[in-house]
Amino acid sequence: MTAYKLLINGELTDGAQTMDVVNPATEQTLAVCPRADEAQLNEAVAAAKAAFAGWSETPIEERKAVVAKIADVIEANGAELAQLLTSEQGKPIADATGEVYGTAAFFRYFTSLDLPVETIDDNEGRLVEAHRKPLGVVGAIVPWNFPMILMAFKVPPALIAGNTVVLKPSPTTPLTSLRLGELIKDIVPAGVVNIVTDANDLGAPLTAHPDIRKVSFTGSTATGSKVMAGAAGLLKRITLELGGNDAGVVLDDVDPKTVAPALFQSAFQNSGQVCIAMKRLYVHESIYDEMVDELSTLANEAVIGDGLEQGTTHGPLQNKMQYERVVELLNDAAENGSIAAGGEVPEQPGYFIRPTIVRDVAEGSRIVDEEQFGPVLPVIKYSEEADVIGRANGTDYGLGGSVWSSNLDRAYAVADKMEAGTIWINKHAELDPSIPFGGAKQSGLGAELGQDGLKEFTQLKIINMARAS
């Protein structure tokens, strides 16, 4: 087995303890990896703090060059990283490959941005400028569903803005992050990027650490609330990208056969383990039965299996805890609705659940009201447009949503009334590094990606100078 190491102050080091990483397709131990203790976390933060002065004073073009080299090394080792990603996360190898090369592209995108001084006022009486200054040490906490690409939402903008980073990957998918640490050890100055792993026990001390100036967290709303509470004592900056229960609304003027494949992909990519996956699908009563039939056909055609096996379209759930939760919700769906396709939990090793379509279900059932984060889609019938908008908005979440129609004006009017950070029309879950992304309501705070995402890693500083009279 590969000997994985933490990255602290430019050195690869063993953890205070070790922990097993399980392949979710086999339930067998994939690797033994280091587990940091709080003392090692403190070492990582101290290293990042010590490195901050030099890194923040490094010209931005030189910082960009380092970030570009990280993108190069990810691309150069893309095949290896993709195989490792599939092995620890479960997704099909084609999807893992897309994530790895997408990660390199996101790193490279941020090198195209700048933080120029903006002149607010310039006259005989005064000069007023807006500067963007780095914050200090950033704690970046990344989940298990997209461990590479979501890291790329955080690390490159933090670095380009002049901050240093302590990265904490999920305990169940730490290997790609640790391997990346090994690959960039000699590219990034010591202490500028540190990578520590835990068993879900270092999130609180990382968040509350007095030398962490900002926390960027992607994960569940419940954990995000804890992050916010932990950061509150020192009023440190936070960006939270949290859970969602995204609604798709299909108007009565679409052809089910035409749109069903895109709807299916929107719900079942990565076996539904996507924060912005379509979690609820509202379909007008006039096309409801046909739409359920089309989606059911696609679900029955899905090939579940080990992501490294040729032909697999849907891998396992990533971990046992999530698998058991989705099984619970599947049982609730069978009691409160009707299983139109799927519903099987195969009797084999691995955390597999077949893509499942649930019909004749409504609000009040867990599968509609809760974020399932798995391969189960409730399809909900509606009759009136005003009613479906209220039902789509009737949740504490507000990450994303979508409207599907052959009439763009109709779709736009509905989208304008939906409450979420992003509403797509005739597509769902499209992310682009140049487009800001963030949640409404309990789906998050702040923005990631784009120029707005870069600014999230800075402190606005105004210089207001009186001119000589």
Residue with tokens 């007095």: 210
Q: What is the pLDDT of residues 231-281, one digit of tens each?
A: 999 999 999 999 999 999 999 999 999 999 999 999 999 999 999 999 999
- At residue 410, the pLDDT reads 98
Instruction: Please tell me which residue in 88, 99, 241, 456 is annotated as part of the active site.
Output: 241
Q: What is the pLDDT of residues 290-319, one digit of tens each?
A: 999 999 999 999 999 999 999 999 999 999
Three-state secondary structure along 38-66?
Answer: HHHHHHHHHHHHHHHHHHHHCCHHHHHHH
Q: What is the pLDDT of residues 76-86, one digit of tens each?
A: 999 999 999 99
Q: What is the pLDDT of residues 171-207, one digit of tens each?
A: 999 999 999 999 999 999 999 999 999 999 999 999 9
Q: What percent of the chain has pLDDT over 70?
A: 100
User: Is residue 327 pLDDT above 80, yes or no?
Assistant: yes
Q: Assign residue 251 a region: left if phi > 0, alpha if psi is -120 to 50, beta otherwise?
A: beta
User: Is residue 160 pLDDT above 90, yes or no?
Assistant: yes
- 301 CB-contact burial (10 Å; exposed 0-12 / middle 13-18 / buried 19+): exposed
Q: What is the pLDDT of residues 101-129, one digit of tens each?
A: 999 999 999 999 999 999 999 999 999 99
CA dihedral 80, 82, 85, 87 (to 10 degrees): -70
User: Is residue 30 pLDDT above 80, yes or no?
Assistant: yes
Rounded average pLDDT over 2-14: 96
Instruction: Please tell me which residue in 33, 275, 294, 456 is annotated as part of the active site.
Output: 275
CA distance 106 to 198: 26
Q: What is the pLDDT of residues 362-378, one digit of tens each?
A: 999 999 999 999 999 99
Q: What is the pLDDT of residues 409-460, one digit of tens each?
A: 999 999 999 999 999 999 999 999 999 999 999 999 999 999 999 999 999 9
Buried b (16+ CB within 10 A) or exposed e, 129-146: eeebebbbbbbbbbbbbb
Token pair listed for 211: 């030398």
User: Is residue 1 pLDDT above 60, yes or no?
Assistant: no
- Which domains, from first to last, does the chain contain? 6-242+439-464 (3.40.605.10), 247-425 (3.40.309.10)
Q: Where are the beta strands (DSSP E) in 142-181?
A: 164-168
- At residue 2, the pLDDT reads 78
- At residue 469, the pLDDT reads 64
33 is catalytic: no
